[in-house]
Amino acid sequence: MLNDHKKNLEQQYSKFQKAPKFSLNSEQLYCVCRKPDNGELMVACDGCDQWFHFKCMHLDKKYKDLISKFYCVFCDELFGRGKTQYKRKCRLPECYKPARVDIVTGQTSKYCCDAHGVKFMKDYVVDVVRKSEKETTSVNALFTKEAISIANYSEFKALGMTLPIFDKISGKSLVNLMSEQTKERLASIDVNIGNLEKLERTYESKLKYLMKLRGLVKKLNEQLTKAILDENTKISSVDLKSQNGKGGSKRNRNGKNGKASKRTAKTDICGYDTSLQLLGNSWIKFTNGERYKSVVGWDNSFSINEKGILTEFKLLRKRLQITEDEQREDVSREQSEGEMNSNIKSDGCIVDKELTIFCGLCVKDRKKCSKHLTWYTTIYDSLDSNIASISEEINTLRKEKDKVKQEENRRLWEKWRNNPILKNESASTVIHQGITPK
């Protein structure tokens, strides 16, 4: 039989070799059928480099993407040059795409894509449940619903890790069935979580105020710089007109021409807010006040009266200058007699206590205010660190609470399983509800 088959192949190969390579229309002919390329699916042989039709080689077209190396019947069985090799198929039965290969590690997946992997697992779980003969229909339906709702591997892996909530005693929830010791423990955890959440909200409100305050101070500096520049321009114009009217020089008292200098020093106040020192209930009370609401609700698009803030700023700076001069004359006398202005701090910082836009702010030059140096960064880092720490504590307590509830739930299930009286009680409850227990 083998010899006959080999002789038959030799005859076919001889006929294939002697067949014309081109048609009468000079079209190149392919395959053992010697037909031109008319769009029919073909594959090249890796042994002889000839092209063959899938149909003539008895190949199913659905495997076209899976062929890795192809050897025609002559190269395979007659000359022994090699055998046709296929790529690993996607595990999903209806998919005939090759399994994905990692270009870095070279490892081959079982699926052509993530979507087909998820679909295969869902179909597999549903199929297993449907074929189960021992489980009841209600259990099958419940498990199938849970399995189909799984979105990823992590959820699938976690399936069955937790017990269902104990509900075998009619009219009593898990909380009602807990021991007094467990209830007290959970209540204590809830109190701690509540206190931490309150403290977290306090820090978050202060952080929100701090960030808005920084924007407000920046806007004030910009507006003050502009207002001072405009004022200097007007003064220069008035001086120039006055001198020209008297026939004087076109240069002003500083020896410069009448054009306002564009090198007006940039205003950069410290901006530290004394309200940031408030703690606990004092800060909570402050958050309910108008000052807090106005700063937190402040928007960069809000207009500021440049003339008004410039007047207020000058008055505050004048007080600061007077105080600094007095301190240089006799600091000890001012401290002992208490003659310092109530708005002025002994360290030379000035804080406005009036209900102006500078209320509570230090208006000393930022570079000269050594007391509040890097105040924003220091306070921000402290608040951010405290919030992160509290958040971690809250998460730890919540996990502890879940663990306590799971342990109590497990205890009730074990007690019910090992106690015939409880089982009979739950069974009678089921019958009373019109359901026959299995």
Domain of residue 60, CATH code = 3.30.40.10
Are the CB atoms for 42 and 61 separated by under 8 Å?
Answer: no
In a domain, 416, yes or no: no
In this prediction, residue 126 carries a pLDDT of 78
In a domain, 417, yes or no: no
Contacts of 400 (CB under 8 A, 6+ apart): 189
In this prediction, residue 299 carries a pLDDT of 73
CA distance 187 to 38: 81
CA angle 311, 314, 315 (to 5 degrees): 90
- Using a 10 angstrom Cβ sphere, with 0-12 exposed, 13-18 middle and 19 or more buried, the burial of residue 376 is middle
* 47-51 contact pairs (CB < 8 A, 24+): 47/71, 47/72, 47/74, 47/75, 47/76, 47/79, 47/81, 47/82, 48/72, 48/74, 48/75, 48/81
Both 188 and 281 in a single domain? yes
CA distance 279 to 286: 10
- Using a 10 angstrom Cβ sphere, with 0-12 exposed, 13-18 middle and 19 or more buried, the burial of residue 73 is middle
CA distance 267 to 179: 67
Both 196 and 113 in a single domain? no
In a domain, 434, yes or no: no
Token match 């928007």: residue? 299
Which stretches of 419-433 are DSSP H helices?
420-432
Domain-terminating residue out of 124, 158, 192: 158
In a domain, 264, yes or no: yes
Both 254 and 361 in a single domain? yes
Both 244 and 122 in a single domain? no
Sign, CA dihedral 416-417-419-424, equals positive
* Number of domains making up the chain: 3
Q: What's the pTM? A: 0.51
Both 240 and 141 in a single domain? no
pLDDT (tens place) for every residue of the chain, 438 residues total: 667 888 888 999 999 999 999 988 889 999 999 999 999 999 999 999 999 999 999 999 999 999 999 999 999 999 999 999 999 999 999 999 999 988 888 888 999 999 999 999 888 877 776 666 555 555 555 565 566 666 677 777 776 676 667 666 665 666 677 888 888 999 999 999 999 999 999 999 999 999 999 988 888 888 778 777 777 777 666 655 666 555 554 455 444 454 444 555 688 888 899 899 998 899 999 999 988 888 888 776 555 555 556 666 666 556 555 455 544 554 444 444 444 444 444 444 444 455 567 778 888 888 888 888 899 999 999 999 999 999 999 999 999 999 998 888 888 878 777 775 555 555 443 333 333 333
In a domain, 340, yes or no: yes
User: What residue type is 132 in one-letter code?
Assistant: S
Task: Measure CA 52 to chain center.
Answer: 54
CA angle 278, 280, 282 (to 5 degrees): 50
User: What residue type is 403 in one-letter code?
Assistant: K
Both 261 and 320 in a single domain? yes
Residues linked to residue 52 through DSSP beta bridges, in sequence order:
43
Q: Which two tokens stand for residue 38?
A: 């008319």
In this prediction, residue 320 carries a pLDDT of 54
Range of 379's domain?
182-387
Both 322 and 228 in a single domain? yes
Total count of residues recorded for the chain: 438
In this prediction, residue 112 carries a pLDDT of 94
Both 130 and 199 in a single domain? no
Both 237 and 377 in a single domain? yes
In a domain, 399, yes or no: no
In a domain, 172, yes or no: no
In this prediction, residue 51 carries a pLDDT of 94
- CB atoms under 10 Å from CB of 371, counted, come to 13
- Where do the DSSP E strands lie in 366-421? none
- Where do the DSSP E strands lie in 4-136? 29-30, 35-36, 42-44, 51-53, 67-69, 85-86
Report the SS3 class of residue 340: coil
In this prediction, residue 238 carries a pLDDT of 62
Both 74 and 187 in a single domain? no
**Rg of the chain over all Cα atoms, to the nearest angstrom:** 44
Report the SS3 class of residue 111: coil
Of the candidates 73, 71, 98, 94, the one whose C-alpha atom is nearest the C-alpha of residue 84 is: 71
Both 120 and 246 in a single domain? no
In this prediction, residue 334 carries a pLDDT of 47
Q: Which two tokens stand for residue 272?
A: 């530290």
Domain-terminating residue out of 387, 411, 433: 387
User: What residue type is 57 in one-letter code?
Assistant: M
Residues linked to residue 98 through DSSP beta bridges, in sequence order:
89
Both 131 and 226 in a single domain? no
- CB atoms under 10 Å from CB of 360, counted, come to 18
In a domain, 377, yes or no: yes
Domain-terminating residue out of 54, 71, 86: 86
